[in-house]
Structure 1
Amino acid sequence: MLTQGALALQERALLAQQQRGHIALRFQGALESAFDHYHLTRVRRQLPWVAGSAVVFVLAYALLDFFMTPLGWMTLPLRIAAFVGLLLCYPLMISERVGTAWSWAAYGAAYLISGLSIIAVIYLNISQGVNLPYDGMFLLFCYGYFLLGMPWRLTVSLSWLQLAVFLILGRFFDVPADVLAYQGLFLGCVNLIGSFGSYLLEHSLRSSWLNLRLLELAREQAETENARKLRLLAAASHDLRQPLNAMGLYAEHLSELHPDATTQKISQRLRESVGQLGRMLQSLLDFTRLTLPGQLSVQRAALEVRPFLARLLHEHQDEAGSTVLRLDCPENLWVLTDAALFERLLRNLLSNALRHADARLLLLSAHVAAEDQIEIRVRDDGRGLSVDEQAQVFEEFRQLNNPGRLAERGLGLGLAIVQQLAQLLAHPLQLDSAPGSGSCFRLWLPALAAPAHEVAVAQTPSGLQGCVLLIEDDEAGREALVGLLSRWGCQVLPCTDLISAQQALQNHPVDMLLSDFRLGLALDGLQVLEQLREQVGQMLPALLITAEVTPALSERAAHAHVALLAKPVMPARLRQAIARGLHARQGMTTPSLEV
């Protein structure tokens, strides 16, 4: 992909050419060469059809001469010779290996061969006392000017050359002056009309090409800008979440170290602020990623609905406050979706209802809507939305009833992300609401039959016992994790890179591996985990913490049997993930690949 500077230079050259115009059918500098290549490529695409019609044209006149004129047997070799000449020119005309000049020369040669063969047939008959009409020349000129598609200068010069040959031979074969004058006048008018018409065609083609190149440059500039945004997104995703992640862990650590009321209150406020900042950052990053084309790919798989919804409701219990959360979903209900993207969608719907609906009850339900569809509803009994408000809630950065832009109520991106994710997943989304009657968001997902074998996951125990090897190059994040894991009862071996981790493994057995994804090394965290597993020769439970939970990384982690946690990490989910891994190490359960 070209740089923005190179694209800007091309754009300036195109705009300057567009402003100057191209009355002489010539572009300046490299633009002429680029247009010539485009013109030839365009003509080559239609060449099989044009060549086919030319072959039919030659064969039809050959047969007509043979059966309808007295000297048909004498003109047949001329027709055959012309046909052979066209066949010889065809490879040069169609091949992309030869240069542009050689290809146009082959086109011109084919046109000239056709015209000279027609002139030869006409005057061979005249020399034997048989007058043939000149309609073959008329058809040839129409063919050359309006069908063959050669450059205007080449077409005009060859057409007038053939007319000149036709008239000169007419004088040589003593064609009556009045007859020759009439033929010359008619064919000359055809050439004039054809010259003007082909000029307009090429002028229009050049104008269209300039506009097309400007559009292509705009697309390339947009793609380059998208790539720059992606680099910025990746940097922000890691660099901003890194200290945020450490802040959240330190807040939890502070709360556990000092149980007095004042410290607990400060820790709670700190956790709430970190949570708000984390949600706002996540919304901005999600929205940016969704608005950039091709950045999210859907990885659909079977998903059991009830435990999935139950987990989401449980994790929103602290946020619910006085709102009652209720689940209505039968057992053994399965859908086809991307679990990670669908979880993000539902989290936004639940958070939106808890923050903005002023509801007493929030019901998350699922039921069979049709033979092949499962309907999932997020219903609240809150204040509801008017028709005008329903049209506004999916707009970016739109917040109803928040004129002060209070930070705890988010950025106004939640439902915009919901709508984009629903479109990406191809899950139809519908909002039903009325003032005073609450709101109901409805989604329809493809239904699946229950898989033949299900893997049971044991409940996470409260106590943590085991040795965790931690790989984290960020000092603040590493110290926060060490303190928190130690408070939970784990023995922690902190390392900064692969070498120190390999040395630690040689001196101490471990029960679980925990690594950051971005380590400032040639290898990423997932590759480091795989190498450490190879060193010990065991499939140790492993957890990867990352600020870049993309579908591609999720797929890599799933293949490697590594659980993923997104930054900023919620301590409760971190504890749950480590507990599952340690229990799996002890043979009590099978580790989940997604946390």
Structure 2
Amino acid sequence: MAPGLADRTDADNAAAREVRIIEKVDALCLKHMLVFARRGFQSLPIVLVIAYLAFQDGAGLWVVAWLAIWMVGQALIRRAAGRLQRRAEAAPAQALRAMTRLFARSGIVAVALMPVFFLRSTDVVLLFVSFLLSTQGGGLVMLASGIQRAWLSYAGPFVVVMIVGWLWRGGAMGYVMAYVMATTVPLSLMSVRAQRKEFTDQVRLLDDNEILSASLKAERDRAEAASASKTRFFAAASHDLRQPLHALSINATTLDLVARRSGDPLLIELSQGIGSALGQSRGLLDGLLDISRLDAHSVSLHTASHDVAALMEAVRNEFAALAKQRGLSLEIDAGPLWVLTDADQLLRILGNLVDNAIKFTPRGGVRLQARHAPDGRVIVSVSDSGPGIAEAERERVFEEFYQVGNPSRDRSQGLGLGLAIVRRTARLLEIPLELVCEPGRGARFELSLPAAAAGAAPPLPPNESGIGRPLSVLMVDDEPDALRSLCTYLREIGWTARGVACGDDAQQILDDGFRADVLVVDFRLRGETGQDVITRLRMRNPGLPAVIVSGDTSAQRLRTFSGLAAVVLHKPIDGARLAQALSETVKASTVSASSEVQRGRDDG
């Protein structure tokens, strides 16, 4: 935008703001005036005193008529104020003009009795009446609520009558009182203007707050939109990357199987290299998946009492080979300590911390420790002998994709998601997490967990298990490469596999007599979802075990998966892991069916 145009736009915005503030101030003043108008009868005691004094001075019927006119006028003003209050928001300017006219009529009625006092009363009575009316007028300074014309419309007739009356009475008393009455006008107007300024300052402050709040809301909305866009991008990118890697992982598993059967050293070496590269790729994508699951709040917690030493031993078994490959020691220092937590999520935290420590520790080792804290909790820590983390970096290391000492973005060191996953998971478990380190002396991550009584902990899931008996598998996937790769692998390990592209074809195969032990269904199919296919097939084949395979890691999809009545596996998954998952699914289904039969017999 050109400078001149920008200046003009700023000036227009400033002018529009001033107009808006004036309108808001007038609306606030009108609100106060309406309240005053509806409380007009509160001055009745003063009016009765003035009427009594006038009656004593011989005003007679004139006083009665005046009092009746005043009371009728106040009733009409009260009624009119009620009507104006209802339409004040729709037409504040008109309501303000109408209120000013009401004030003028009320002021004329209020001073209509003053000529009687100037003609008949003594100076003492006249002074007293002047004092009463001046007090009422002084109160009106506040009740006029910053509108000068409203004050003048009410007090103007009173001031004019009082000045003229005292001048007519003459004498030192008359001239002094006329002067006093004349000086009340500028003083009262100054008070009205001061009140107007106070209202304006209040409204301007409120307007500033509204502008700031709107600006903050807009910035928050932009940040949330950017975050949502980033999440959608990573989910879409993750899905598009997972699809071809899934077929490649299955083929790599098949290649490794064939290589080991052939005994060809070169073929074995090539298959291992491919498997290692794919494993690294899966690790990177699984990091993104963990972040997506945590952000989608689709992680279910299963809290129980667990032996810390057993959990640490499971982590050491998983990373011992990697530590040995790097020339590092991996030690455990934990006594018989038990904690109340979710074992899977705590293992995820410890695994990420140990993995991170091994990656960034050039020599020495990594230690897992557990001890009692003075407050009765259990402190679990992972420390290393690496270079440590500078103080300026200690908060940033928990950000996604941020890594210290990896400017070349060496992919063997991951994406920089490990500590972000650790912090999110610790918050999910409501576990305080603290980073303690000194540059050059390594880093130590400490977790504070609630202690639990010793007991029989639920068994930890094994890292690997046998594939079990050969199964008959029916696969539904509209990706030909993935379908062909999986069928080839399953047949190589002696299983029976049939693959189709849609639910109708799967139903036809079952109708033709194929007895499937388990279904493997891709979630995102053309025209339907994997859950739709499973539901339809189970209508005619109740209890058929099913596994859903998906490359979709969006937050919405993860929340959907958390409610599905089927096992969900995320691509890419190699053939051996998939076969193991299918065996476990069939086994769990068989155990469940046997339990149902046994319960039926017991009930019989």
- TM-score by structure 1 length? 0.72
Instruction: State the secondary structure of the residue aligned to 1:226.
Output: helix
Q: Which of residues 481, 492, 500 in structure 1 aligns to 2:497?
A: 492
Q: How many angstroms does 1:581 deviate by? A: 0.9
Counterpart AA for 2:546: A
Q: Assess if the C-alpha contact under 8 Å between 1:365 and 1:376 holds in 2.
A: yes
Structure 2 residue 149 is matched with structure 1 residue 160: yes
Aligned to 1:150: none
Q: Which of residues 556, 580, 595 in structure 2 aligns to 1:576?
A: 580
**1:125 and 1:516 mapped to 2: Cα distance?**
95
**What are the residue-to-residue correspondences of 1:122-521 with 2, within 5 Å?**
122-123=110-111, 126=114, 129=117, 130-131=129-130, 132-143=132-143, 145=145, 156=147, 159-168=148-157, 171=160, 178=178, 181-195=182-196, 198-199=199-200, 202=203, 206=207, 208-259=209-260, 260-283=264-287, 295-296=296-297, 299-303=300-304, 305-306=306-307, 312-316=315-319, 319-322=322-325, 333=338, 335-337=340-342, 339=344, 342-358=346-362, 362-364=366-368, 369=373, 373-380=377-384, 382-383=385-386, 385=388, 391=394, 394=397, 396=399, 399-400=403-404, 402=406, 404-423=408-427, 425-433=429-437, 439-446=443-450, 460-507=465-512, 508-521=514-527
Instruction: Count the aligned residue pairs.
Output: 544
**2:224 and 2:535 mapped to 1: Cα distance?**
34
Q: Assess if the C-alpha contact under 8 Å between 2:549 and 2:568 holds in 1.
A: yes
CA displacement, residues 155-182 of structure 1 (integer Å, 9 cap, x when unaligned): x4xx414513542465579655746644
Q: Which of residues 85, 110, 119 in structure 1 aligns to 2:107?
A: 119
Structure 2 residue 590 is matched with structure 1 residue 586: yes
Counterpart AA for 1:529: I
**2:454 and 2:48 mapped to 1: Cα distance?**
77
Structure 2 residue 55 is matched with structure 1 residue 101: no
Q: Assess if the C-alpha contact under 8 Å between 2:293 and 2:299 holds in 1.
A: no
Instruction: State the secondary structure of the residue aligned to 1:133.
Output: helix
Instruction: State the secondary structure of the residue aligned to 2:516.
Output: coil
**1:117 and 1:282 mapped to 2: Cα distance?**
81
**1:469 and 1:370 mapped to 2: Cα distance?**
57
**1:199 and 1:434 mapped to 2: Cα distance?**
56
Counterpart AA for 2:521: S
**1:25 and 1:550 mapped to 2: Cα distance?**
44
Q: Assess if the C-alpha contact under 8 Å between 2:548 and 2:568 holds in 1.
A: yes
CA displacement, residues 236-271 of structure 1 (integer Å, 9 cap, x when unaligned): 121122222222222111111223221221122122
Counterpart AA for 1:214: S
Aligned to 1:151: none
Higher RCO, Cα 8 Å, sep 6+: 2
- Closer, same or farther in 2 for the Cα pair 1:206/1:325, shift >3 Å? closer
Q: How many angstroms does 1:479 deviate by? A: 2.3
The farther-off stretch of 525-534 and 115-124 is 115-124
Q: Assess if the C-alpha contact under 8 Å between 1:22 and 1:203 holds in 2.
A: no
- Closer, same or farther in 2 for the Cα pair 1:117/1:262, shift >3 Å? farther
The farther-off stretch of 294-303 and 444-453 is 444-453
**1:257 and 1:269 mapped to 2: Cα distance?**
15
- Closer, same or farther in 2 for the Cα pair 1:457/1:224, shift >3 Å? closer
Q: How many angstroms does 1:368 deviate by? A: 6.1
**1:438 and 1:526 mapped to 2: Cα distance?**
49
- Closer, same or farther in 2 for the Cα pair 1:435/1:189, shift >3 Å? closer
- Closer, same or farther in 2 for the Cα pair 1:378/1:210, shift >3 Å? closer
Q: Assess if the C-alpha contact under 8 Å between 1:328 and 1:366 holds in 2.
A: yes
Q: How many angstroms does 1:384 deviate by? A: 5.8
Q: Assess if the C-alpha contact under 8 Å between 1:305 and 1:333 holds in 2.
A: yes
Instruction: State the secondary structure of the residue aligned to 1:254.
Output: helix
CA displacement, residues 42-80 of structure 1 (integer Å, 9 cap, x when unaligned): 979xx8xx7998699767545665689848986666556
Q: Assess if the C-alpha contact under 8 Å between 1:375 and 1:445 holds in 2.
A: yes
- Closer, same or farther in 2 for the Cα pair 1:298/1:255, shift >3 Å? closer
**2:302 and 2:107 mapped to 1: Cα distance?**
72
Q: Assess if the C-alpha contact under 8 Å between 1:250 and 1:480 holds in 2.
A: yes
Counterpart AA for 2:394: A
Q: Assess if the C-alpha contact under 8 Å between 1:379 and 1:441 holds in 2.
A: yes
CA displacement, residues 133-170 of structure 1 (integer Å, 9 cap, x when unaligned): 34545544545546xxxxxxxxx4xx414513542465
Counterpart AA for 2:413: R
**2:365 and 2:549 mapped to 1: Cα distance?**
34
- Closer, same or farther in 2 for the Cα pair 1:205/1:565, shift >3 Å? same
Q: Assess if the C-alpha contact under 8 Å between 2:372 and 2:378 holds in 1.
A: yes
Q: Where is the helix percentage greater, Structure 1 or Structure 2? A: 2
Over the aligned positions, Cα root-mean-square deviation in angstroms equals 4.9
What percent identity do the matched residue pairs reach? 23
- Closer, same or farther in 2 for the Cα pair 1:206/1:559, shift >3 Å? closer
The farther-off stretch of 456-465 and 183-192 is 456-465
**1:370 and 1:502 mapped to 2: Cα distance?**
63
Counterpart AA for 2:493: W
Counterpart AA for 1:569: I
CA displacement, residues 439-460 of structure 1 (integer Å, 9 cap, x when unaligned): 5422123456799996998994
The farther-off stretch of 314-323 and 281-290 is 281-290
Q: How many angstroms does 1:212 deviate by? A: 4.0
Structure 2: give runs of 5+ residues left out of the alignment. 54-65, 118-128, 168-177, 596-604
- Closer, same or farther in 2 for the Cα pair 1:405/1:191, shift >3 Å? closer
Q: Assess if the C-alpha contact under 8 Å between 1:348 and 1:415 holds in 2.
A: yes
Higher-Rg member (1/2): 2
Q: Assess if the C-alpha contact under 8 Å between 2:477 and 2:483 holds in 1.
A: yes
CA displacement, residues 458-487 of structure 1 (integer Å, 9 cap, x when unaligned): 994342422222222222222222223333
**2:565 and 2:315 mapped to 1: Cα distance?**
23
Counterpart AA for 2:249: G
Instruction: State the secondary structure of the residue aligned to 2:478.
Output: coil
- Closer, same or farther in 2 for the Cα pair 1:117/1:404, shift >3 Å? same
